[in-house]
């Protein structure tokens, strides 16, 4: 299985010279899309400085000490933890550590660059765990509930309704698996990213018609990758 990498490639395919078209019903789309417009509506990449969780704030007000910085042996996990800790995630530091470990483990398992995962999170939700789009996509990687339920079934993850996607570890696990699935489906990273945002059904239709691929989302992911790398990177 080829490693899924996307850096400085624009609309070029990096896994093969051509993109494959798969027939049959497509999974639901990820991310918000404006009906009747040429490009999807994209969320802001930067949500501003992070706010501490309520429990930590109350502990400080009541004179208690803030939780100690967790000890992290894995440098890759440390980089992801630091990156997410600087975002307004709405998560405690313990939860951020769980997510960081899940991202590194799942990205390695699915052979996807960690920086690509962080870039998709940045573009989709700006790192806010409770993000919800106008069309109902949820969580860090903005997964539609129907798609999340299908992915959970495929990967043996307990599905407890749409709220399952607000479990950040489940969300990134399913999101990374879906990135891998789309990459294998299209053999082309930019096309896989376009399908992640627009939905495979719409991308398949464009491929059948020989139409160009949507580029706005792909460009925004590339800029987010550049930003992650400028901050010190989190590749594994």
Residue 166: the pLDDT is 98
Residue 71: the pLDDT is 75
Phi, psi dihedral angles at 143 (to 5 degrees): -100, 130
**C-alpha angle 4/80/112, rounded to 5°?**
10
CA dihedral 167, 188, 108, 179 (to 10 degrees): 10
Residue 128: the pLDDT is 98
- Enter the pTM of the model: 0.75
Work out the burial of residue 220: count CB atoms within 10 Å of its CB; fewer than 13 is exposed, 13-18 middle, 19 or more buried. buried
The 3 state secondary structure assigned to 156-190 is: CCCCCCHHHHHCHHHHHHHHHHHHHHHHHHHCCHH
Collect the ranges in the chain with pLDDT lower than 70: 1-70, 233-236
Which domains does the chain possess?
A: 72-230 (1.10.530.10)
Residue 232: the pLDDT is 75
**Two tokens, residue 25:** 């019903």
| Catalytic site positions | 124
Show Cβ contacts of residue 183 under 8 Å, excluding neighbours closer than 6 positions.
2, 4, 15, 112, 189, 192
- Per residue in 147-187, pLDDT (tens digit) is 999 999 999 999 999 999 999 999 999 999 999 999 999 99
**Is residue 81 within 8 Å of residue 97, measured between CB atoms?**
yes
């Amino acid at each position: 299985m080829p490693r899924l990498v996307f850096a400085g490639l624009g609309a070029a395919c990096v896994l093969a010279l051509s993109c494959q078209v798969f027939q049959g019903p497509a999974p639901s789309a990820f991310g918000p899309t404006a009906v009747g417009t040429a490009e999807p509506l994209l969320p802001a990449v930067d949500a501003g400085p992070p706010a501490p969780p309520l429990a930590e704030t109350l502990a400080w007000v009541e004179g208690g000490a803030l939780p100690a910085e967790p000890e992290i042996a894995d440098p890759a996990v440390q980089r992801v933890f630091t990156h997410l800790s600087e975002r307004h995630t709405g998560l405690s530091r313990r939860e951020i550590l769980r997510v960081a470990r899940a991202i590194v483990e799942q990205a390695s398992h699915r052979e996807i660059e960690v920086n690509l995962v962080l870039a998709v999170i940045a573009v989709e939700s700006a790192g806010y765990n409770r993000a919800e789009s106008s069309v109902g996509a949820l969580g860090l990687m903005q997964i539609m509930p129907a798609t999340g339920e299908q992915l959970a079934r495929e990967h043996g993850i307990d599905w407890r309704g749409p709220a399952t996607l607000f479990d950040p570890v489940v969300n990134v696990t399913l999101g990374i698996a879906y990135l891998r699935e789309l990459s294998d489906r299209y053999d082309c990273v930019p096309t896989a990213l376009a399908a992640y945002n627009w939905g495979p059904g719409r991308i398949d239709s464009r491929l059948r018609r020989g139409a160009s691929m949507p580029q706005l989302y792909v460009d925004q992911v590339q800029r987010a990758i550049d930003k992650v790398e400028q901050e010190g990177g989190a590749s594994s």
